[in-house]
Homo-oligomer: A and B are copies of this chain.
Amino acid sequence: MSKEITSREQDYSQWYNDLVIKGGLADYSAVRGCMVIKPYGYALWENMQATLDRMFKDTGHQNAYFPLFVPKSLFEAEEKNAEGFAKECAVVTHYRLKADPANKGKLIVDPEARLEEELVVRPTSEAIIWNTYKGWIQSYRDLPILVNQWANVVRWEMRTRLFLRTAEFLWQEGHTAHATKDEAVAEAEQMLHVYADFAENWMAVPVIKGVKSPNERFAGAEDTYCIEALMQDGKALQAGTSHFLGQNFAKAFDVKFSDKQNKLDYVWATSWGVSTRLIGALVMAHSDDDGLILPPKIAPVQVVIVPIYKGEDQKAKIDVKVKDIVQALKASGVSVKYDDSDNQRPGWKFAQYEMQGVPVRIAIGARDLENNVAEVARRDTKLKESYSLDGLADKVKLLLEDIQQNIYNKALQYRDSHITTADTWDEFVKLLDEKGGFISAHWDGTAETEDKIKELTKATIRCIPLNNAAEEGKCILTGNASTQRVLFARAY
């Protein structure tokens, strides 16, 4: 199997596509820019969802569901938001098909079934949600509203990549309403920390928490917080954003509340989201030229057991022993698959599970049984070791924890060794071209300079890290005065 994967060095981009497709995560579809998430990829997403959903509920949020469609007049109400997404909107204009009189068995759009008002397929749900919140909020007693939605959204991107940038994607979007600015800011920051916690402690992807420059803000936000991860090719990837929306949407949809003193004011808002894009980040952060490497805490299958035998007699003996091992692993909360299918040889299976990134592989043969041992291979380092069958489950559980930690450490080491300081333009450009990663450099704080740097180098300001140190300096491009360094990178 592994021979079929393009190596990272040869073509990083093709390597990524190979992993996604041959690893069974996703497939191209007949719809331009839309993908099919295959069962293995979806199982990964389900694990991510379950963890995030628990984190959201633990911080007081409830789930709800709002319409897929946004009437155009609502969509355009918050002007900046509308302007930001207008170019990517799939638009429903008709509600019926009819038989094509010119082609038997074919259908055409029925011109008589034109909608009075076009419907935008949601690229994000602020508009439809704030229009709804208007009916839910009268007084401070109705606040805060802490709602999250798991949904599909559509953004008509011209250049798409599996998981990283697709026309339709799955995500969650939190939409909260608050009585005070401070509370809304605290909520936006809280959710940023939740995202960072998830990325680091579950996905094993280290992230930098920061704030976007005005250029990179979400359309309609006052502030966009973000977590930024680093991929193995030195490009950054925005892994999650949390927006303080100020009173922009409340004003656009006229959502006011009366406070304890009976004074009317506009409601304060946040929104925050992560998407199936995280799967792309996961793939690119950890995997190698033999396939996926998945962190045990969210891997669909944590342990696979492959029997090695000649004849039914040996197989039967192995089965008995494996049954106990499976039971013990499941009892310790480990997900395990016993692959005793007889249509492929063990070597093929080994390569297959390596490709799919199953964290631990256990092989048991007849000789092993005699010696009361099994061969345990870890996917991350590929080290193999002989484990006694006594207390195997406990040891495997510890091994999984070790793998989780090791994957994180490796990514962290790479990331940390790829945050480099640049003090001159030449240094900056050279670092971008030769080393990649985050470049910490001074910027004069203007949108023009940011645009110019992007135009010249394709690098953008990924974020201004939280609690960034103040430092006098000169802008890398203009030489104008700067008060702090920011992180630049080329990004997905």
Contacts and interface: CB of A to CB of B under 8 A. Distances in A.
A366 to B, nearest CB: 27
A86 B92 contact: no
Contact of A29 (B62, B67, B89, B107): B67
Given A31-B67, A68-B154, A98-B86, A105 B79 contact: yes
Given A31-B119, A74-B30, A106-B76, A97 B87 contact: yes
B96 A31 contact: no
B31 A69 contact: yes
Given A90-B119, A152-B152, A168-B68, A132 B62 contact: no
B36 A67 contact: yes
B90 A63 contact: no
Q: Which of A27, A88, A119 has the most CB of B within 10 A?
A: A119
Q: State the majority secondary structure of interface residues on A.
A: mixed
Interface in A116-170: 118-121, 128, 131-132, 135, 141, 147, 151-152, 154, 156, 168, 170
B62 A43 contact: yes
A285 interface: no
A65 B42 contact: yes
A151 B27 CA distance: 18
A348 interface: no
Nearest to A155: B95
A217 interface: no
A72 B107 CA distance: 8
Given A105-B76, A128-B29, A91 B93 contact: yes
B43 A63 contact: yes
Contact of A93 (B70, B109, B128): B109
Contacts of A99: 83, 86
Interface of A: 27, 29-31, 34-39, 41-43, 45-46, 62-72, 74-76, 79, 82-83, 86-99, 105-107, 109, 118-121, 128, 131-132, 135, 141, 147, 151-152, 154, 156, 168, 170, 343
Given A34-B67, A36-B65, A37-B66, 18 more contacts: A27-B132, A30-B67, A30-B131, A31-B119, A36-B132, A39-B147, A43-B62, A43-B63, A46-B63, A69-B90, A72-B107, A75-B107, A76-B105, A86-B96, A87-B96, A91-B93, A91-B96, A92-B121
